[in-house]
Structure 1
Amino acid sequence: MIHLQLPLVLVGVLVATGVYGIVARRNAVLMLIGVELLLAAAGLLLVTMGAARPDPLVAGQTLTIFLITIAAAEIAVALAAVVAVYRARGDVDLTRRGEDDA
């Protein structure tokens, strides 16, 4: 049986930092970093809970690999969209409306 305090504290710190990055930032790239921190926290939680059982489940590790794959695809698509918005508008501020959006 492993001690769960340190991994769970780290999950809490990652979630808090990710939520702060999403809520407090206007830059799309920084918001994507916040989303990635949330996904990393979910992966760490899956691995920790899978290893904490008396009979270690492989499901936690399998789901974490699936989560990493989904996160990689998500960041690739989102960064492509951010680059397209930057080329069109010149910045990636999500609160400012573009001239053609008005």
Structure 2
Amino acid sequence: MANDIPLSWFLYFAAAAFATGLVGVLLRRNAIAVLMAIEIMLNAANVNLVAFWRYGTPAAGSGPLPGVIIALLVITIAAAEVAVGLGLILLCYRRWRAVDVDRYDSMSG
């Protein structure tokens, strides 16, 4: 364990990735780019979960891989979020012929 990468490096990387995703969500107008930025944020959370699992002390009564199991759950939720998000983007594109999120403010039927 002496040759391992320190935990702080993982935390810095995850913070930078999360900040990049947050900037992408706040500044982008393209709906697909916003979805990609959200995925970057979710991956940053996964890096934190697995890093804390790897370097943390195991809790009493916890399973063998709690951090990895939660990360897999987040990946599954992210896949469902992308499927629903892309479906909504395709429907909005068919209606307005644009993937600009500023044009989606009038989504009433």
Report the TM-score, using the length of structure 2 for normalisation. 0.83
Pairs within 5 Å for 1:1-102: 2=4, 3-55=6-58, 58-96=65-103
Separation in 1 of the partners of 2:106 and 2:49? 44
Provide the secondary structure at the position in 2 that maps to 1:96.
Answer: helix
Counterpart of 2:7, as a letter, is L
Separation in 2 of the partners of 1:23 and 1:59? 32
Provide the secondary structure at the position in 2 that maps to 1:18.
Answer: helix
Q: CA RMSD of the aligned region, Å?
A: 2.1
Structure 2, gaps ≥5 residues long: none
The question of whether the paired residues in 2 share the 8 Å contact of 1:28 and 1:93 is answered with: yes
Aligned length: 101
Counterpart of 1:15, as a letter, is F
Identity of aligned residues (%): 34
Report the TM-score, using the length of structure 1 for normalisation. 0.88
Change (3 A) 1:15 1:97: closer
Counterpart of 1:81, as a letter, is L
